Amino acid sequence: MALALDEARAAGALAEVPIGAVVVRGGVVLARAHNRVRADADPTAHAELLALRAATRALGYERLADCVVYSTLEPCFMCAGALVQARVSRVVFAVRDPKFGGCVSLGRVLDHPRANHRVQLEEGVAAVEARELLQAFFRARRGAPDGAQAGTNRDEG
């Protein structure tokens, strides 16, 4: 999770919502990424999706069996669906996303009984640090002179 927090800090330094993700298999980091929604002008450029894409390219295969994904925020419905499609074994996240979390907050995509694959889930790892990053980011944005507000459901942490 320390690497995911590093990625979240990198995102925040670029004025992106500070979310980071890392894909690990057998103790080896396959990929790491941070949000690039604004930089890429792409609503799907979430840290988890970018990390999944990089990991599948690194392996040369679309399935990530035996992989663990670490994320600083509960994956949204889009990312949770991609995690299931990639057949990730386990997801570890720091804090819940009460506005759009697709793992426990608003839905249970990762372990839905009708899904063809279920992902193990662990939450709360490094929650204090991840929450502080998100809260500081949004406090700063609300205090911005131009009143700039972030524009996605994942913007509140």
CA atoms within 13 A on the CB side of 49: 15
132 is catalytic: no
User: How far apart (Å, rounded) are the C-alpha atoms in residues 29 and 37?
Assistant: 23
Q: Which of 7, 48, 74, 129 is catalytic?
A: 48
Q: In what order do the strands lie in the sheet with 20-25?
A: 28-34, 20-25, 67-73, 90-95, 120-123
**Residues acting as catalytic residues:** 48
